[in-house]
Chains A and B, each alone.
Chain A
Amino acid sequence: MNESVKEQLESTFKAVVVTIPEDTQIVVNVKKDQVLPVLGFLKDRRFDHLALISCVDWIEEKEFELVYILARYMQGDEEHTYQERLNLIVKTRISRESPRLETVTGIFSNAEPYEREIHELFGISFESHPRLTPLFLERDYEIPPFRKDFDTRKYVSDVFDKIPFIQLEKE
């Protein structure tokens, strides 16, 4: 099962690197312009559940790594063996200077909040995303707070520690 997915991927796309670290995991490293075709290809082969989009900041290599984790919805009327419970991890790297990537909401519509979150916390802009508006944060940050060069201690001592304690009028 693992091998057949690997063979299909390697025969269809030229520059993908497929590794199998565990029995139930397949890691696919792709170039940034191949993300959409690879995800569409995998969705057609019943990897129809986008579990998570995650982002890693490799500051020394000056790259962001986007990680898409795909799985299969269990069909209730079918018997599934352990081998069929695959997690498929698609990784791609983009440069840190101009972090832009095409959105995958056209293929997996549940990617919308994940991409908004990554946009807010890492500052990656997803092109042609339907609404790339703030999701969680209330304050404005000069550097998005999940990047490695964001100094949380400095930020806290500049903002929250500068707020004075209440001085009571009548003591």
Chain B
Amino acid sequence: MDRNQITKWLKEPAKMANKYSLHAIYFCTGCGIIEVPPVITARWDAERFGIIPVATPRQANLFLITGYVSVKTLRAIIRTYEQMLEPKYAIGFGSCPINGGMYWDSYNTIKHLDKYIPIDGWIAGCMPRPEAIFIAVTHLWTLIDKDMANGYIRYRENYEFYRRNQEMVLGKLNWPPFYQIRDNVKAVENE
């Protein structure tokens, strides 16, 4: 263990434990998922960084969105994100979730994923190298230390806006709101 971090461990043990044991949901979106098998297996070995892929979103707290997001995939992404455990972190991987990438004028691919779910960090590139995932993870550690990886808190506080954007793309959602919709926020929006 790094001796410099002992004070951090004594002060906030839960946060430090969380930080070094990220459980990534194995959700295959787009073409970037081809980078994930070498990352989690022997070649690059993500367990050095405490990342392990898990089977279901109910065991996960790290969400890698690895490629373009079609409208149909967005529905699955929202449902997956809402089922994950807090504190949860979402990372957009590749240029397509950032601004559409090469699908910037596609009829069925959403651009700007952060309009629909909160994203804590982006990895640019098409495709990023597997090492970029580890750089992103070390950045995520820094953000967690500084309490800046607060996507799930933003989602809770601005849920009305996220839900409105989701309904603008997907139509009427057939699942109940994840958080309570506050009437005063909705009213301000309607004016």
Contacts and interface: CB of A to CB of B under 8 A. Distances in A.
Interface of A: 136-139, 141, 145, 150, 152-153, 155-156, 159-170
B158 A139 contact: no
Contact of A160 (B75, B110, B114, B161): B110
Nearest to A161: B111
Contact of A152 (B105, B111, B169, B171): B105
**Of listed B71, B108, B168, residue having the most chain A CB within 10 A:** B108
B76 to A, nearest CB: 11
A168 B160 CA distance: 11
Contacts of B161: 166-167
Interface in B140-191: 154, 157-158, 161-162, 165, 168-171
Dominant SS among interface residues on chain A: loop
Interface residues of B, number: 24
Contacts of B118: 166
8 contacts: A136-B72, A160-B110, A160-B112, A163-B112, A163-B169, A165-B114, A166-B118, A166-B158
Contacts of B162: 166
B154 A168 contact: yes
Given A163-B169, A164-B165, A166-B162, A138 B106 contact: no
A153 B108 contact: no
A160 to B, nearest CB: 5
Contacts of B154: 166, 168
B32 to A, nearest CB: 20
User: What are the nearest 10 A-B pairs in CB distance?
Assistant: A145-B107, A138-B71, A152-B105, A153-B105, A156-B105, A152-B107, A138-B72, A166-B161, A163-B168, A163-B165
Contacts of B110: 160
Given A136-B72, A138-B71, A162-B168, 11 more contacts: A137-B108, A139-B71, A141-B107, A152-B107, A156-B106, A160-B110, A160-B169, A163-B115, A165-B112, A166-B115, A166-B158
Contacts of A156: 104-107, 111
Contacts of A138: 71-72, 75, 108, 170-171
Nearest to A150: B107
Nearest to A156: B105
A166 B72 contact: no
A67 B118 CA distance: 44
Nearest to A144: B107
A136 B70 CA distance: 10
B158 A164 contact: no
